[in-house]
Amino acid sequence: MTDQWEKNLACASQCGRCHQPLPSFGQRILSVFDHEPICLDCKRKEETRADYQEASREMIGRCMADTEAQYSDPGGYCYFHFYPFSCNNE
Ligand SMILES: [Zn+2]
């Protein structure tokens, strides 16, 4: 149960922004704005937004609170907003 979010997010088959296909072994990263899995091109664009730093700080606070209530691994969920990961560990 606790790793359900990991399946939903890590194994998304397309980018939440540009809808480019994301192969299961390909790298993706979570958006700090809406927690969608997105491709690394879209992440680079996201990072250039003027409100990115503010959204990052807000996201950390919010995701720690959210994941503490719902999941057993808050650190991992927050971590994936800043470090690319892939879905090849099944
Ligand atoms: Zn994309």
Ligand 1 midpoint to CA 89 (Å): 22
Ligand 1 midpoint to CA 90 (Å): 23
Ligand 1 midpoint to CA 75 (Å): 24
* Per-residue model confidence (pLDDT) at position 45: 97
* Per-residue model confidence (pLDDT) at position 75: 52
**Least trusted range by pLDDT, from 1-5, 14-18, 66-70, 81-85:** 1-5
How far is Cα 59 from Cα 45, in angstroms, rounded to an integer?
A: 17
How far is Cα 47 from Cα 11, in angstroms, rounded to an integer?
A: 23
Residue 62 has pLDDT above 90, yes or no: no
Please report the DSSP string for 25-43 in residue order: TS-BEE-TTT--EE-HHHH
Residue 58 has pLDDT above 50, yes or no: yes
Ligand 1 midpoint to CA 44 (Å): 10
Average pLDDT in the chain:
81
* Per-residue model confidence (pLDDT) at position 64: 73
Q: Where does the pLDDT of residue 71 fall: very low under 50, low under 70, confident under 90, or very high at 90 and above?
A: low
Cβ neighbours of residue 7 closer than 8 Å, sequence gap 6 or more: none
Residue 6 has pLDDT above 70, yes or no: no
